[in-house]
Amino acid sequence: MGWTRRQVLKGLGGLLAAGSALGLGAATVAGEAAPSGLRLLGATEARILRAAAERLLAGTPLDEAALAEVLRWIDGYLRRQGEPLRTEVRGLLWGLELSAPLFGEGWARFSRRDADSRDAVLRAWSTSRFALFRQGYAGLKGLVLMAGYRQPAFLRSIGYDGPPHG
């Protein structure tokens, strides 16, 4: 049975609250600066998103500049969206950061894990029996792939020759 959007928010909000209670901070860990050019995402959120994007886009022409562009574009995209979606995406990122114990993947935060371990968490979300996590995986994957496959290097890598002019 699927969860409602309200339940999703409550669930992810609960994870966020748990994070705050553990002293993890709301958006930015003390002393951590947000990457330049980001106006919505805090430093910690950017770090989580970066950690996810590195794995979701592994096997693509993802270099440091492309990764920065992924973050910059998602930050701008969220700024252009309404507040409910922004809140949900931030909750989603924090949920990803803190959810590993729910899947028996240990206590380390997502953004501190190695590549294989991050893949395991993402895969656990995609196959979870709870619609909440599958939904979160689908949303995050869509956002990151959209940010990646808009970049010329990605398009060239798959042999796409569009757009027709310009």
Partner 1 sequence: MIVRGRERRRDLRLDVDAAVVGSGAGGAMMARELSARGLRVALLEMGGHHRPADFTAVEADMLEELFQERGARATRDLSVRVLQGRGVGGSTVHNTCLCKRAPAELLARWKREHAVSGASPAELDPAYAATEQELGVRELGPDDLNRNNALFRRGVEALGYRGGFLHHNRAGCRGAGYCELGCPFDAKQNALKVLVPAALEHGAWVVSDARVERVETRRGRARGVSGSLLDALGRPHARFEVDARVVCLAASAVGSAALHARSGLPDPSGLAGTTLRLHPGGVVAGLFDEEVVGWRGVPQSYECTEFLSFAEDAAKRRVWLVPVFAHPIGTAVQLSGFGAAHGELMRRYRHVAAVTAMVHDTTRGRVRVEASGRIRIDYWPNHDDRAQLALGLREGARILLAAGARRVLVPFEPDPLWIDDAAGLAAIDAAAIRRHRLPLTAVHPMGTLPLGDDPARAVVDSRGEHHAVGGLFVCDGSLFPTSLGVPPQLSIYSFARHLAPHVAAAC
Residues near partner 1 (CB under 8 A):
2-5, 55-60, 73, 77, 80-85, 119, 122-123, 126-127, 131, 134-135, 137-139, 141-142, 145-146, 148-150, 154-155, 157-160, 162-166
Exposed (0-12), middle (13-18) or buried (19+): which is 116, by Cβ within 10 Å? exposed
DSSP class of 34: P
| Residues near 119 by beta carbon (within 8 Å), at least 6 away in sequence | 55
CB of 91 to partner 1, least distance (A): 14
Nearer to partner 1, 35 or 141 (CB): 141
Q: How far apart are CA 157 and CA 119, in angstroms?
A: 23
C-alpha closest to that of 94 among 7, 2, 14? 14
CB of 58 to partner 1, least distance (A): 4
Nearer to partner 1, 25 or 77 (CB): 77
Q: How far apart are CA 32 and CA 130, in angstroms?
A: 33
Nearer to partner 1, 46 or 92 (CB): 92
Nearer to partner 1, 21 or 158 (CB): 158
CB of 111 to partner 1, least distance (A): 17
